[in-house]
A and B are shown apart, each in its own frame.
Chain A
Amino acid sequence: MKLTGAQILIKMIKSQGVDTIFGYPGGATIDIHDELARHPDLRHILVRHEQGAVHAADGYSRAHDCVGVALVTSGPGATNTVTGIASAHTDSIPMVVFTGQVPTALIGNDAFQEVDIVGITRPCTKHNYLVKDPNKLAATIQEAFHIARSGRPGPVLVDLPKDILQAQIEFEMPKETALRSYKPNYTPNKKQLAKAVTMLKEAKRPVIFAGGGVILSRASKELTSIAKLAKIPVTGSLMGLGAFPGSHSLWLGMLGMHGTFRANMSIGTSDLIIAAGVRFDDRVTGNVKKFAPNAKIIQIDIDPTSIHKNIPVQCPIVGDCKTALAGILDLMEKEDPKDLTIDRGPWLDQIAQWKHTTPLKYEQGPEVIKPQFVVEKLYEATEGKAIITTEVGQNQMWAAQFYHFDKPNHFITSGGLGVMGFGLPAAIGAKAACPDKMVVDIAGDGSIQMNIQELMTAIESKLDVKIVILNNRFLGMVRQWQEFFYDKAYASTNMENAPDFVLLAQAYGAKGFRCDDPAKVEQTLKLGLETPGTVIMEFLVEREESVYPMVPAGGAITEMLLV
């Protein structure tokens, strides 16, 4: 059977179980869109900016636990994806991005809308391809999906010259991908698992530190069982929120620069850290020399480069988090439960005391709305069940601190790269993946303006998202640093010149509500969440509120600014 390249592309995408892609057309990809129109079973969501397509694919991937797909044209279409790809790369999100390219005969000629996108994205993709032979198209696409989802997941880019898309070739389903140079190791070393259990039995002050890898490997259940069985308190990185139930008494809250007092103190005092699917980012460790000075560390990661990178580890376990944690749990279940919880009482008491003396706190007065209050009320109004995406800055940290995630795949944020403008398109992607769930973007007034055009996507594609803008009329997080470290010189962070967000919502055909009264926060949330369609809820909040605790960059995480 002869097929065109474009037909093969769509056939292969479908063969990977994908039913939704996010894209934006151009000259180099007309053939694909032309063909797509004949495939109602492969939903194409037309974004309004290619960056939005990639973040939406990211949100889709995380909410649905699958590979996200974006499709864009050559040149500017391709370069517009770079931020989104880099974000997915840092957060290890499985994704395949297809870019159009000028015809192979023109490559290297500085042709119209030609860029070397494979060269540009080499350092921010897991792998990438330029397809030069139509006979290799199908196998390459299959390989791209395989690489994106296996091992430590990540974005893969496939560059598709126009003549390849137009070529007519005999199609054959490729054989299963087998790469001699890429065989991720899923199976952890048994001796290391046993060593981990021995270390655990000797520990008096253990802490589990869960990261995005736990969510990516679907290991929440195993992790939670281990914590409960041995009464080990659990903290998480920003990417790990939801890996362990946020409402459980063993949950310590987030770790790091804006971590809770008890999480940071626990790590500082701990004698054993079980780190699963984390890479010890500098926002988590603070000063590495002073990180967890008393602790031995067990680190589980599928990616050997994450181990020993910046923190010395006494028990490295290379392998899939789920398999490794299941293995550890198995061994633990063979032990006498008493041996697993020696001296746990004083440790848990100490933690309870930290929680009691120094909780996350803010004071809501009668006059001005506190941003934390809005997040807390949103948590109540949604019963903690919404999928939350965030923008970047203070809004993101307050979301992480005051919304408690009981399940994985419900908190979607640009963790490693911190991309302002991520939350709205990611929310659209999450809604496309989970149409029955409430999806809320917790936004800042600065960030929301970075991809505001995606409101149109949400409305056109009937992907109802709720946007809660914590409007402090500042680039708040940068302002906070200026307040603490630059003598309150608020250079370039004032955002008082802003659009009227309510009118803006209306201009796009969405609904908009504004609230500036603490007494009306709950009411506004209720109204906004219950109003059908895409809704902006704008809360005028305390302008100079700061995120606490804060560990100044380069400090030990136990040295926190508390008020």
Chain B
Amino acid sequence: MKTNRYLLSILVDDEPGVLSRIAGLFSGRGFNIDSLSVATTADPNVSRITMVTNCDAQIIEQIKKHLHKLINVITVNDLTEKKYVERQLALIKVHAKPEKRAEILRIVDIFRCKIVHIGHSHYIIEMSGNNEKHEAFISLLQPMGIVEIASTGSIALARENGK
């Protein structure tokens, strides 16, 4: 079956164990989580979980229903088909050979990223953007020699209010 990338924004009670309930739901039913990010919201009793998963249309329906069934889940908003803003933050450590530095700086500039550390042989670059930008940026840096990457999961908000 054809799989798609789905982006879910889930509001949950901020209680111990909520994350393991969600993680357990996915592992117990063989669903995949591609990325996950959790933080409190303006309401200190509520956390937002932003989750990315790749699956087919029937599975995402099951995932949404099962998430909703968890007692601590308040709302499940599938942003996939909606207008939304998505960001991922990544720190990328890349080899900075003298002859490549100008090119790295150019790429960083085009993508409006920042160099946050300069070492003798490498840079650390901070980039933020949606998933596509993230992938494009990484693929351009690949030839320079990426040493390591630390990346957050996606976070996202619907553009319109209420939904």
Question: What residues of chain A have their CB less than 8 Å away from a CB belonging to chain B?
Answer: 118-119, 122-123, 126-127, 130, 147, 179-182, 303-305, 308-309
* A181 pairs with B24, CB closer than 8 A: no
Task: Decide yes or no whether B17 CB sits under 8 A from chain A.
Answer: yes
A118, A130, A181, A308: the one contacting B72 at CB < 8 Å is: A181
List 7 tightest A-B contacts by C-beta distance, closest first.
A181-B74, A127-B71, A305-B65, A304-B65, A182-B71, A123-B28, A305-B66
The answer to the question of B41 belonging to the interface, with a C-beta cut-off of 8 Å to chain A, is no
Of A123, A127, A305, A308, most B-chain CB atoms within 10 Å: A305
B61: which of A123, A179, A308 is its contact (CB, 8 Å)?
A308
Pair A309/B71 contact, Cβ less than 8 Å: no
Query: Is there a chain A Cβ closer than 8 Å to B134's Cβ?
Result: no
Contacts of B63-79 to chain A: CB distance below 8 A: 65-66, 68-69, 71-74
Contact (Cβ within 8 A) B73 A181: yes
B6 to nearest A CB, angstroms?
17
Extra contacts, 10 of them, besides A304-B68, A309-B62 (Cβ < 8 A), are: A119-B20, A122-B21, A123-B24, A127-B71, A130-B16, A181-B13, A181-B71, A182-B71, A303-B69, A308-B58
User: In the assembly, what is the distance between CA of A122 and CA of B74, in Å?
Assistant: 18
The answer to whether A118 and B12 touch across the interface, beta carbons within 8 angstroms, is no
Known: A179-B71, A181-B72, A181-B74. A122 touches B62 (CB 8 A): no
A122 contact from B24, B61, B68, Cβ within 8 A: B24
Decide if A126 touches B24 in the complex (CB within 8 Å). Answer: no
Nearest residue (CB) in B for A307 is B65
Across the interface, do B17 and A118 meet the contact criterion of CB distance under 8 Å?
Answer: yes
Residues of A within 8 A of B17 (CB): 118-119, 122, 130
A184 nearest in chain B by CB position: B69
Please tell me if the beta carbons of A305 and B21 are within 8 angstroms of each other in the complex: no
Q: Mark B1-27, 1 if CB is under 8 A from A, else 0.
A: 000000000001100110011001000
Q: A122-B20, A181-B13 are in contact. Are A305 and B62 (CB under 8 A)?
A: yes
Using Cβ atoms and an 8 Å threshold, which residues of chain A touch B12? 181
Interface of B is mostly: helix
Q: Which of A123, A179, A181 has the most CB of B within 10 A?
A: A181
Minimal Cβ-Cβ distance residue in A for B73: A181
A181-B67 Cα distance, complex, nearest whole Å: 11
Residue of B24, B71, B73, B74 ringed by the most chain A CB atoms within 10 A: B71
* Chain B proximity of A43: nearest CB distance (Å): 30
Interface set, chain B 43-88, CB cutoff 8 A to A? 58, 61-62, 65-66, 68-69, 71-74
Q: Is the CB of A147 within 8 A of B71?
A: yes
Looking at the assembled complex, report how far the CB atom of B48 sits from the nearest CB atom of chain A, in whole angstroms.
14
Chain A to chain B contacts (Cβ below 8 Å), 23 pairs: A118-B17, A119-B17, A119-B20, A122-B17, A122-B20, A123-B28, A126-B71, A127-B71, A147-B71, A179-B71, A180-B74, A181-B13, A181-B71, A181-B72, A181-B74, A303-B69, A304-B65, A304-B69, A305-B62, A305-B65, A305-B66, A308-B58, A308-B61
Which of chain A's residues have a CB closer than 8 A to the CB of B21? 122
Residues of A within 8 A of B73 (CB): 181
Q: How far apart sit A123 and B20, CA to CA, in the bound complex (Å)?
A: 10
Contact B71 A305 (CB under 8 A): no
Q: Report how far A147 CA is from B28 CA in the complex, Å.
A: 22
Say yes or no: B28 contacts A305, CB within 8 Å: no
- Alpha-carbon gap, A179 to B13, bound state (A): 10
In Å, the complex CA distance between A180 and B73 comes to 9
How near does chain B come to A432, taking the closest CB pair, in angstroms? 29
Please report the C-alpha to C-alpha distance between residue A191 and residue B61 in the assembled complex, in whole angstroms.
22
Chain A minimum-CB-distance residue to B58: A308
What are the residues of chain B within 8 A of A130 when measuring CB–CB? Answer: 16-17
Of all chain A residues, the one with the shortest Cβ separation from B20 is A122
Chain B minimum-CB-distance residue to A179? B71
Chain B nearest CB from A48 CB (Å) reads: 32
**Which chain A residues lie closer than 8 Å to B58 at the CB level?**
308
Cβ–Cβ < 8 Å partners of A182 in chain B: 71
User: Given the complex of chains A and B, what is the CA–CA distance between A305 and B24 in angstroms?
Assistant: 16
User: What distance in Å separates the Cβ of A554 from its nearest Cβ neighbour in chain B?
Assistant: 19
Contacts of A127 in B (CB 8 A): 71
In the bound complex, what is the Cα–Cα distance between A303 and B58 (angstroms)?
16
| Chain A contacts for B72, CB-based, 8 A | 181
Query: What residues of A have a CB within 8 angstroms of the CB of B71 in the complex?
Result: 126-127, 147, 179, 181-182
| Residues of chain A with a CB closer than 8 A to B65's CB | 304-305
How many angstroms from the CA of A119 to the CA of B28 in the assembled complex?
13
Q: Taking CB as reference atom, which chain B residue is nearest A147? A: B71
CB closest chain-A residue, reference B61? A308
Q: How far is the CB of B27 from chain A (nearest CB, A)?
A: 9
Residue of A with least CB distance to B72: A181
Point out the residues of chain A lying under 8 angstroms from B69, CB to CB: 303-305
Instruction: Kindly list chain B residues whose C-beta atoms are within 8 Å of the C-beta of A179.
Output: 71
